[in-house]
Amino acid sequence: MRMQRLLAPAVAAVAALSVLAGCGNGSGLRVEGAEPADSGSATAPTPTVSPTATPGFRSGPATTVSLAQVRTNLLVDKGLDPNARAILTNCTVISRCLSQGPTVDVMHNGVPQQVVYIHALEKFVFGVFLIALEPAGPRRIWSLKVDQPTINASPQGDLVVESEKFEPDDKPCCPSGRKVEVYRWDGRQMTRVSSTDQKGD
């Protein structure tokens, strides 16, 4: 009897320890931080961002420029043509006086330049700007007074400007000639390398 009384507390203690041991690191009692790291589990890789030479700008045709910012920068440009300045000063709805043309890279620096047309309310284009997209904002690097131009980049990266030209006998509505000019970036500015007149039929 005495032996039973001595063994009863010991058996109870062993049973309690067994129960607690079973709960310590399984589905029962969970101790945060007690579980070892699972070396077989895959961890998500840390994303890396590749640096670019010109932050904030993407090269290629997807790049666009804010015409409102172009207008603001042109108005502080001291070399802006007076007629263009008058149009832009009175132009409160930007789409009525400026529109985007093609994106080109005639400077061959990997950062696009945007062709921007200036026109009257009736969409008659009378001039064009070539805008460099720079971190400090859009900057005019070239402009041309020309009527109804079509502008493209040549395979060599030159700027090809086709425009309407009035012949002496043409009515005011209907120019019959066209002029094709080619401009090239010489490292500092755009220079005209050729000009050809094409008479109408």
- 138-182: per-residue pLDDT in tens? 999 999 999 889 999 999 999 999 998 888 888 878 888 889 999
What is the length of the chain?
201
Domain that holds residue 175: 67-198
- Residue 133 belongs to some domain of the structure: yes
Q: Is the pLDDT of residue 39 over 50?
A: no
Measured in whole angstroms, the distance separating CA 83 from the mean position of its chain's CA atoms is 30
Tell whether 60 is covered by a domain: no
Of all residues in the chain, what percent carry a pLDDT higher than 90? Answer: 49
Residue 26 lies in a domain: no
Q: What is the pLDDT of residue 5?
A: 54
How many Å apart are CA 113 and CA 127, to the nearest integer? 16
Q: How far is CA 10 from the centre of its chain?
A: 78
Backbone angles phi, psi at 11, to 5 degrees: -60, -40
Tell me the three state secondary structure of residue 1.
coil
The tens digit of pLDDT for each residue in 86-123 reads 999 999 899 999 999 999 999 999 888 999 999 987 88
Q: Is 176 a member of any domain?
A: yes
How many domains does the structure of the chain reveal? 1
